[in-house]
A = this chain, B = another copy of it.
Amino acid sequence: MERNEDVSRRLKECGLKGTKHRKAILHFMDCSKIPVSADQVYLQLSAQGISMDLSTVYRTLETMREKGLLIKHSRLNDTRALYEYNRMEHKHYLVCLGCNKMLPVRHCPLEEYEKTLEKETDFMISGHKLAIFGYCAECKENI
């Protein structure tokens, strides 16, 4: 149960109690390769026999986001918000218009551009959100 201890430690570092639910959620988030919704967390954990209220999932994800453990993607595709484990990497996403899946892309083509833009405008730029839309390998066959 190395992983379990790792998760407990990270919760403690954030000043959060290591409850069963929190450990389960954080572990699940850590294992997810792509961003997931509160709903998905709830259903998947349910399926694993770990049952909790949906509001607890929402509350926990939000708390973890505040502590910097997770990153929130707010309704990119106008559906529900997605959360992912924060691995401290700046990246962007390919968002599938078919299944809403988000695939990370490492390279960021915007760093230079932001600096130029700040000089040209009155804005104080603090970040950006780039989502590239399209259809993933599976979905593009069913259009």
Contacts of A127 in B (CB 8 A): 132-134
Bound CA span A123–B140, Å: 8
Q: Is the CB of A132 within 8 A of B114?
A: yes
Contacts of A131 in B (CB 8 A): 128-130
Q: List B contacts of A126 (CB < 8 A).
A: 97, 133-135
Interface size on A, residues (CB 8 A): 35
A74 at the binding interface (Cβ < 8 Å): yes
Partner of A103, one of B76, B94, B123: B123
Chain B, residue nearest A121 (CB): B94
Is A50 positioned at the interface, with any CB of B under 8 Å from its CB?
Answer: no
Complex Cα gap A113–B113 (Å)? 13
